[in-house]
Amino acid sequence: MDHYRVVVIGGGVVGASVLYHLAKFGWSDVCLIERSVLTAGSSWHAAGGIHALNADPNMAALQAYTIDLLAKIEEESGQDIGLHMTGGITVASAPERWEWLQSAYRIFQTIGIEDCWLMTPEEIKERCPIMDTTGVIGGLWADREGYIDTTGTVQAYAGAAKKNGATVIEHNRVLELRQRPDHSWDVITEKGTIHAEHVVNAGGLWAKQVGRMVGLELPVTPLEHHYLLTETIPEVAALDFELPMTVDLEGFTYMRQDQKGILVGIYETNYAHWSVDGAPWKYGIELLQENTDRISDELVMAFQRYPCLETTGVKNWVNGAFTFSPDGNPLVGPVRSVKNYWLACGVMAGFLQGGGVGKTLAEWMIHGEPEADAWPMDIARYGDFASNREYIKQTTGQFYSRRFVMTYPNEQLPAGRPLKKAPAHDGMDAAGAVWGCSWGLEVPLMFAPEGFEENPTLRRSNAFDIVGEECRAVRDGVGLIDITGFSRYEVRGDGAEAWLDRVMAGRLPKPGRARLAPMLGQDGRLKGDLTIFNWGDGIWWIMGSYYLREWHMRWFHQHLGAEDSDVSVRDISDDVAGFALAGPKSRDVLSALTHEDISHKALPFMGCKTMDVGLIRAKVGRLSVTGEFGFEINCGAAEHITLRRILLEAGKAHGLCEFGYYALNSLRLEKSFGIWSAEFTQGYTPGMTGMDRWIDFQKDGFIGKEAALKEKQQNTAPQKLVTLDIDADDADASGYEPVWKDGTRVGFITSGGYGHYIGKSLAMALVNPEFCEPGTELTAHIVGRERAARVISSSPFDPNGEKMRL
């Protein structure tokens, strides 16, 4: 047969899972092409460990699905996969790691992982007798951990796929991909040409080359990874149970039983890339030469943790390569620039995540959207900047070396930075800016005294008082913040208004006005919390989160139909920069720089206009994420330095203070303003998040109307967004902490922090509807400790919004 609906390139665990799910969900006219044999590459030599725990709830759900699926594909295929569910222990020997495990335990409860609990060193020793628990403070047990036979598992996926009608072709390398005018593909192979509607890159170690076949530079590269297999260990052979999987956080090692010995794997800090541009085509079921000198420090710690290694021979060393993305998560989904080309690669933990990756991609291809929020592995989380070779090397190496190193919520990692800077970066840097990173762009977190360094922590850091001062300066006077890190999209053309009316769920603003604009998927779930500006000259702007630029542009392009031929949607985020003024004295500052009337009557709240600000012709909106009176002033990138200078000069007389995104987070929490990736995600609905109040249910034809209207009419939202006042002392909520009522979990925190101006520890949370009323007493675990919490009315600061409308 020379025609298939889908051709999957790559016969590892991920490609086999994609094939299985496509066939299982009804697309049986699908084919997998493998250049060698199934498992050749990374799959055959993988350690095969599986565990359900992951701090990201979406990835945890992905892993849980994969684990549940393993027994099913074994049964469907008749292929033994060697499944051993031994349970597992994560061990902490440092106080900060133990604190992190206690916090993580509660977050896992939020995710729905109930079969895990904290352990004492004595309990750890009982479960893992060969471990020396000297120095161990505690551990976290999880029932759903173990390991599988990797080759058998790939064969099971492929076998089950074939039983559902799919085809597997081995020993046939794909040489070239050519796209036809109708966007279908000619897949040129060593044995002839196959025509396909869709192509899936599940190339594993060769994903880079398969991407280059269509002009893509994917942010993925192989690294070396060592593990050793021991000979028989008498202490292990004498046990009447199988050792659990263990992870030693301080030792950078994992361990599991292997026959009557053990397997010990190492994530060394002294990492090594291999074939950065992808494996040679002739590479297959082979290993790399081990380098024990490079991993000597970690080996010493492993021998200390498991003393039986001192008297046991090493039966085999495995040094194999597998692929990493910059953040360690898979690269999955459609590519905006190449129609009908899909990714399922960069899956570091293929046997743990491969089932969920296959399900996600199959749903995406068949139904247009996956069931679960796929953002953590969506290729759209990266832009062109991530294709740079040095960026890939730095970030993938950083992730590998930190595989077992906790990253604090306020910790800023150095790899791949600085990359993009706002034009006024150097001026802000000289003023004491402490920098964070958003989609490659340096953004100011706060402004601190010279020599200040923030200490990474789960608790309130040494930046607490500095951030508080910035918050009070904004609320009592006027603050200035760089808004280069907002995305901006320009929409123009005769059909622009009609297109916007279809894509956005809310009512469009009139000329000279701006409006909040929820955007929905066909299933009624959120696709964006955006702001639309109607500049009154036929040009519209959409503004949103900077790091969603590629994701939103893909969505916009997907919904530009034949009837929209005269509509232009352009990402202008790199061309436009700006600053925002916030605080009661904002008008005083701006008035000194313009001859224009900016009174409330001339430029009301949510008004916008093009106006002169000093020498700059700027686009100004009267709104502020802080909930204060304020203006967002947008200028050309080349004018950014000048705009900052003149605003600072005009603000001197009014005590203007530069502030950063730490303070902005505190200020928006005091107003109960949600943000994307926390209160708003594509896993939530308008009814859950309160975004339904911005939807115009009277207008026809907007995407997602039927589903959103049904939710509203039937009141089916399973949870509602509320604001919590938490009795906390030295730590605040950050996200995904469980919320309880009399010992029953009734919701979870979406984000939190300290409200410096009102002096309260605040959080926003999704809770069951019966617990939404202000005054409801609840509890929440903050850094592992249960704290009293109560539902309060939204917007504890200025609840009527009077200050924004001065």
Dist CA 477 CA 744 (whole Å): 44
Return the bridge partners of 140, or none. Answer: 90, 118
Average pLDDT, the chain: 96
The CATH number of residue 274's host domain is 3.30.9.10
Dist CA 628 CA 723 (whole Å): 19
Is 237 part of a structural domain of the chain? yes
State residue 60's pLDDT score: 84
pTM: 0.95
Please tell me whether residue 272 adopts helix, strand or coil conformation. Answer: coil
Angle at 81 between CA 21 and CA 202, to 5 degrees: 40
Average pLDDT over residues 382-392: 96
pLDDT of 142-163, one tens digit each? 999 999 999 999 999 999 999 9
Under 8 Å between Cβ of 33 and 8: yes
Going by pLDDT thresholds of 50, 70 and 90, the confidence category of residue 56 is: confident
Domain final residue, candidates 710, 744, 773: 710
Dist CA 347 CA 341 (whole Å): 17
Average pLDDT over residues 248-269: 95
- Alpha-carbon distances of 76 from 69, 70, 159, 338, rounded to whole Å: 10, 10, 8, 35
Domain count, the chain: 2
Under 8 Å between Cβ of 604 and 524: no
Q: What are phi and psi of 644, to 5 degrees?
A: -60, -45
Give the 3-state secondary structure percentages of the chain, helix then strand then coil, rounded to 5. Answer: 30, 30, 40
Is 798 part of a structural domain of the chain? no
- The alpha-helical segments, DSSP class H, found in 78-201 are 95-111, 121-127, 150-163
pLDDT of 72-119, one tens digit each? 999 999 999 999 999 999 999 999 999 999 999 998 898 888 899 999
Under 8 Å between Cβ of 427 and 643: no
Going by pLDDT thresholds of 50, 70 and 90, the confidence category of residue 465 is: very high
Going by pLDDT thresholds of 50, 70 and 90, the confidence category of residue 1 is: low
Dist CA 786 CA 789 (whole Å): 9
pLDDT of 584-612, one tens digit each? 999 999 999 999 999 999 999 999 999 99
Reply yes or no on whether the pLDDT at 444 is more than 70: yes
Task: Tell me how crowded residue 450 is: count the other CB atoms within 10 A of its CB.
Answer: 6
Please tell me whether residue 21 adopts helix, strand or coil conformation. Answer: helix
Reply yes or no on whether the pLDDT at 53 is more than 90: no
Dist CA 363 CA 353 (whole Å): 16
Domain final residue, candidates 324, 359, 389: 324
Pairing of strands 738-741, 777-782: antiparallel
pLDDT cut 90: percent of the chain above it? 95
Dist CA 165 CA 22 (whole Å): 10
Is 430 part of a structural domain of the chain? no
- Alpha-carbon distances of 637 from 382, 540, 644, rounded to whole Å: 22, 19, 12
Q: What are phi and psi of 18, to 5 degrees?
A: -60, -45
- The alpha-helical segments, DSSP class H, found in 652-782 are 661-670, 686-689, 705-714
Reply yes or no on whether the pLDDT at 503 is more than 80: yes
Is 516 part of a structural domain of the chain? yes
Q: Is 287 left (phi over 0), alpha (psi -120 to 50) or beta?
A: beta
Beta carbons within 8 Å of 380's beta carbon, 6+ residues apart? 333, 336, 548, 550, 551, 554
Dist CA 639 CA 42 (whole Å): 50
- Helix axis angle for 150-163 and 350-367, nearest 10°, is 20
Residue 14, both tokens? 């991920």
Q: Which residue has the tokens 């939530």?
A: 684
The CATH number of residue 700's host domain is 3.30.70.1400
Closest-CA residue to 769 (of 787, 788, 791): 791
Is 675 part of a structural domain of the chain? no
Is 383 part of a structural domain of the chain? no
Closest-CA residue to 16 (of 29, 5, 30, 32): 32
> What single letter denotes the amino acid at residue 634?
N
pLDDT of 352-368, one tens digit each? 999 999 999 999 999 99
Reply yes or no on whether the pLDDT at 406 is more than 90: no
Helix (H) or strand (E) holding 118: strand 116-119
Domain final residue, candidates 653, 675, 710: 710
Is 758 part of a structural domain of the chain? no
Is 68 part of a structural domain of the chain? yes
Domain assignment of residue 138, given as a range: 3-324
Closest-CA residue to 136 (of 98, 99, 101): 98
- Alpha-carbon distances of 351 from 49, 320, 538, rounded to whole Å: 7, 15, 52
